[in-house]
Structure 1
Amino acid sequence: MTTTSAAPLRRELTRVPLAVDGIPPLDLTATPPPGHCTVIDTRWGPLRLHARETPGPAPDAPIAVHLHGLAGSATNWTDLSRQLSGRLRSIAVDLPGFGHSEPPPGFDFGRQAHAHVLARYLDGLGAGPVHLTGNSFGGAVAVELAATRPDLVATLTLISPAMPDLRPDPRRLSDARIVPALLPVVGARARRRLAAVTPHERAERLMRLCFAEPDSVPAHRVAEAAEEFREREALPWAGPSLGRTTTALLLSWLVPPSRSLWWRLRQVAAPTLVVWGLADRVVSARKAPRTAATLPRGRLLVLPRTGHVAQMERPRMVARAVLGLVDADSSW
């Protein structure tokens, strides 16, 4: 474990229990579990929410729910879910507009809208509070849900959450043409060029952006990501959903302090673990100390040689930290 030097930390913030019991051997050859859809009623009408479930040690095992980031899907949690399976039943969700979850007409793609959908889904499970985990944009959604529906969240783990970070650094993008592609009219040329990039190239670029050590990613994981990109090309709502979610996230970074994600952090009652990769190029690890310190019951784990998706790059370490949080939640 390490901490950043960007800001001083209270000593107790870095006291993260790391459980070692109940974790199976790491198997990076595992394929994503099969998916299923659940129809839920939302304020925009019915929505078929797609999720992938990894069974726990028993049917009544405590539940962990995982939320992916931009351009991600439920498959981002394959390895972590298996690492948790000795203790927890995992449900990895495709957020509306991503994976196989088609957004309903009128959906606005902000973190509040996604949190509303997740709240309805968890209400439908009827399993009580869950151990909620969110990466990047999924972390922002998880914060919103934990702040507004504390009854649904037993513990919260935020992995490189999308805290406001307006650095104008092109290295934060898998392709520099993404920003101009979001613009009306003038973005048409950039969108055509992006469309010409093959699914395998997209997958490789995303790995180079999100992993500190992209060469260590197994070839079959790159192939899985490429196949997902190929599938998304056939979904008419996939591209617009990514663009609108990205725009909603950027706009949320510009709101007054009373509506910002920083303000929401203060309202999270659940014990919360903040996990950040020191080599994160997407959202700077310099945000990590403030994020943990702002949370009423926050702890911080910063991982060296790790990028933006620690649950994929360091699944065993993240699993140990999550289970440590689960075991210690009553004392945090």
Structure 2
Amino acid sequence: MSSTESPTVPTASVPPEAAPARVAEGERLRSVCLPGVTLSIRSRRPASRGLPPTLFVHGLGGSSQNWSALMAALDGVVDGEAVDLPGFGESPPPDDGDYSVTGHARAVIRYLDAADRGPVHLFGNSLGGAVATRVAAVRPDLVRSLTLVSPALPELRIQRGAVPTGLLGVPGVAVLFTRLTRRWTAEQRVRGVTALCYGDPARVSQESFQQAVEELERRLRLPYFWDAMAHSARGIVNAYTLGGQHGLWRQAERVLAPTLLIYGGRDQLVGFRMARKAARSFRNSRLLSLPDAGHVAMMEYPDVVARAFRELLAEVGDSGARTVADRPRGAATKGAGS
């Protein structure tokens, strides 16, 4: 693994016309070159030595910035890193063009193997939740605990708000959508995404909204932006149709790590009704229900999510030897809305 650290990712990873991503106070970005893929890693300098290592994996259309609020809330608790999946954030496309859930999981595994930070506390949101589930199932040695925020796991009745995402994976639709929306400003697009992903869009500060607009403007200049979106959306759809041992629900049942499941009652993309099924499927799980949250609880309620994770961390212990295995599967259910 080769790594270079600087306030921004090296310009070789970002076309000249695209400005570098914003780095919040206390954060840094570095670019990591691995076989077949280059990943951008966002991190906070650990408050002390020996803190438990974590890795955060974002959802479709997101980036490592989606975890900045939660990483700040966990400052001094964990040694936090967040990855930009291939084709998103500051990470260029993968060499093989594989944007499937398996392809993204392979990139995460390659990074964890190369980083040699030991088993990590793995977080995933939406697409990142599906990716993290697959990583935990196939490489249990890499995962000390699993925290999933609205994971994109197969549903029989797809949420109405998720239909456009599924359609984006249909060949040709991304090109058509680009043409139909070419007059939309980045501000209009961000307002639409915010309304879709937040339980209460009013919780987004004007500063955060403007930062999101700037980030989208930057990413829309990338020549591979829509390709990464469309192929990753297709990857989710394909993962939903897989059966047998490769099916995501079957893999959820194979996860050994203690698992924290977080679902939002106002989620328009992942059905709140799936929370109970997830709690039954992950053998060693606890469920946090947030009735007022949408699809990105770690951005809406970072302090609530951080508190729930700290409780899990206390049960797992620093060594990871103790687990919550004695609790009946999915038995611990909590509700919170603010």
Structure 2 equivalent of residue 165 of structure 1: 155
Structure 2 equivalent of residue 34 of structure 1: 28
1:61-104 Cα distance to aligned partner (Å, 9 max, x none): 21111000001000001110011112111101100111011122
Structure 2 equivalent of residue 98 of structure 1: 88
- Equivalent of 2:144 in 144, 154, 161: 154
Per the alignment, do residues 182 and 140 of structure 1 end up closer, same or farther by CA in structure 2, a change over 3 Å counting?
Answer: closer
Cα deviation for residue 187 of structure 1 reads 6.1
Give the secondary-structure state (helix, strand or coil) at the position aligned to 1:142.
helix
Distance in 1 (CA, whole Å) between partners of 2:99 and 2:269 is: 20
Asked if structure 1 preserves the Cα contact closer than 8 Å seen for 2:174 and 2:230, the reply is no
Cα deviation for residue 105 of structure 1 reads 2.7
Per the alignment, do residues 186 and 94 of structure 1 end up closer, same or farther by CA in structure 2, a change over 3 Å counting?
Answer: closer
Q: Does 1:114 align with 2:104?
A: yes
Higher relative contact order (CA closer than 8 Å, sequence separation 6+): 1
Cα deviation for residue 188 of structure 1 reads 4.2
Distance in 1 (CA, whole Å) between partners of 2:95 and 2:136 is: 26
Per the alignment, do residues 64 and 123 of structure 1 end up closer, same or farther by CA in structure 2, a change over 3 Å counting?
Answer: same
Asked if structure 2 preserves the Cα contact closer than 8 Å seen for 1:35 and 1:52, the reply is yes
Distance in 2 (CA, whole Å) between partners of 1:52 and 1:157 is: 18
Structure 2 equivalent of residue 208 of structure 1: 195
Distance in 2 (CA, whole Å) between partners of 1:216 and 1:130 is: 30
Cα deviation for residue 309 of structure 1 reads 0.4
Q: Does 1:217 align with 2:204?
A: yes
Distance in 2 (CA, whole Å) between partners of 1:290 and 1:255 is: 18
Question: Unaligned regions of 5+ residues in structure 2, if any?
Answer: 1-23, 317-321, 325-338
Matches within 5 A, 1:200-279: 200-279=187-266
Higher mean C-alpha deviation, range 264-273 or range 219-228: 219-228
Higher mean C-alpha deviation, range 182-191 or range 217-226: 182-191
Give the secondary-structure state (helix, strand or coil) at the position aligned to 1:221.
helix
Per the alignment, do residues 249 and 183 of structure 1 end up closer, same or farther by CA in structure 2, a change over 3 Å counting?
Answer: closer
Q: Does 1:88 align with 2:78?
A: yes
Asked if structure 2 preserves the Cα contact closer than 8 Å seen for 1:210 and 1:307, the reply is yes
Per the alignment, do residues 208 and 137 of structure 1 end up closer, same or farther by CA in structure 2, a change over 3 Å counting?
Answer: same
Q: Does 1:315 align with 2:307?
A: no
Structure 1 equivalent of residue 60 of structure 2: 70
Give the secondary-structure state (helix, strand or coil) at the position aligned to 1:127.
coil
Give the secondary-structure state (helix, strand or coil) at the position aligned to 1:224.
helix
Cα deviation for residue 54 of structure 1 reads 1.4
Per the alignment, do residues 60 and 262 of structure 1 end up closer, same or farther by CA in structure 2, a change over 3 Å counting?
Answer: same
The aligned amino acid for 1:236 is P
The aligned amino acid for 2:294 is G
Per the alignment, do residues 117 and 321 of structure 1 end up closer, same or farther by CA in structure 2, a change over 3 Å counting?
Answer: same
Distance in 2 (CA, whole Å) between partners of 1:51 and 1:328 is: 28
In the superposition, the TM-score normalised over structure 2's length comes to 0.83
Percent identity of equivalent pairs: 36
Cα deviation for residue 210 of structure 1 reads 0.6
Distance in 2 (CA, whole Å) between partners of 1:101 and 1:244 is: 15
State how many pairs are aligned: 296
The aligned amino acid for 1:227 is E
Question: Unaligned regions of 5+ residues in structure 1, if any?
Answer: 1-29
Cα deviation for residue 186 of structure 1 reads 6.7
Cα deviation for residue 194 of structure 1 reads 2.5
Structure 1 equivalent of residue 119 of structure 2: 129
Please give the root-mean-square deviation of Cα atoms over the aligned residues, in Å: 1.8
Cα deviation for residue 134 of structure 1 reads 0.3
Structure 2 equivalent of residue 331 of structure 1: 323
Per the alignment, do residues 325 and 186 of structure 1 end up closer, same or farther by CA in structure 2, a change over 3 Å counting?
Answer: closer
